[in-house]
Amino acid sequence: MSETAAVFEPAPELGMMSNPTSEPSATPTLHSAADAYISAGTTEPGRVCRRRGVVGFLRRYGDLTSWAATSVEERRSTRSDEMVFAGHALVHCGVPVDVAFVVTSGCRWGKYIADAYPDQAAKFAEQAADLGFCEREGHRMWAWLAKICIVTGLAPDQLTPDAYRDARTQVHDTVVTLRGYRPQSLSTPLFDLDAVMFHRGQAPPPDIRRRWTGRPVKEVTWEQLAEQAPVMVATMRRYLEQCLLSLDPPMRRG
């Protein structure tokens, strides 16, 4: 009996969907996730390390349901080798993960999704390149798409426009709430991702006004600027006056 099998109870049916890479009749379980994860090691030391992570995760949590029931802080304290297995198992079993953990965990969701669906990852990269995005931009978009997939428990090609929109909104709003502002590293890749997903038929038409990043109302008035930053306002006025002078006909400046 293997070390992994020794700590397994009869594996619960955790799968929320059938993994496209599995046989149609097979329902993915935590046990099958562990077998796939360990066997994917390319060397014996690598497989030993993976087995250690599986055993550690099982002894600490027992299953993915118990893992998901713990707090975000406790899950973030999970040992790295155990969390790597958990990430692969979540993808293998198609288990949705709460968005707060997805955003704050620092897990390599893009790698986990790519490892589970290599053909889909390659297809996405090709589609992004066809739309003019460079390799680096494609990687950034894939990383955010992976977070969206993890939140929904779906593979990239299984996202419907509604599922994509709802999960995208959750990820976007959670990052803004946690950061206290909308970082450019979030807005640009997500807006670009909208274009690729629309091209794939899995997202609504992108809004050319970038409603995801735009501000609906002015956040400050000129009067408030004049009171709080008089030096900046004076500098801006001098700049505008110089612009006006440069645009005047030469005869009026003589």
Q: Is the dihedral of CA 122, 123, 125, 129 positive or negative?
A: positive
Residue 86 has pLDDT above 90, yes or no: yes
Report domain extents, the chain: 1-95, 98-214, 222-246
| Structural contact between residues 112 and 91, judged by C-beta atoms closer than 8 angstroms | yes
Which position has the higher pLDDT, 246 or 56? 56
For the chain, the C-alpha Rg in angstroms (whole number) is: 25
Which position has the higher pLDDT, 180 or 7? 180
Query: Per the structure block, which two tokens stand in for 25?
Result: 């009749």
The pLDDT of residue 18: 39
| Structural contact between residues 56 and 81, judged by C-beta atoms closer than 8 angstroms | yes
What's the gap between Cα 236 and its chain centre?
40
Q: What percent of the chain has pLDDT over 70?
A: 71
* Mean pLDDT, residues 30-41 taken together: 94
Backbone angles phi, psi at 15, to 5 degrees: -65, 130
* Mean pLDDT, residues 84-110 taken together: 96
The pLDDT of residue 208: 55
Measured CA to CA, the distance from residue 86 to residue 145 in angstroms comes to 19
pLDDT digits (tens, 9 = 90+) for 126-173: 999 999 999 999 999 999 999 999 999 999 999 999 999 999 999 999
* Mean pLDDT, residues 208-231 taken together: 54
According to DSSP, residue 160 is labeled -
The pLDDT of residue 137: 94
Label residue 250 by pLDDT band (50, 70, 90): low
- Going by C-beta distance under 8 Å and a sequence separation of 6 or more, which residues neighbour residue 16? 93, 94, 95, 96, 153
For the full predicted model, state whether its pTM sits above 0.75: no
Residue 215 has pLDDT above 50, yes or no: no
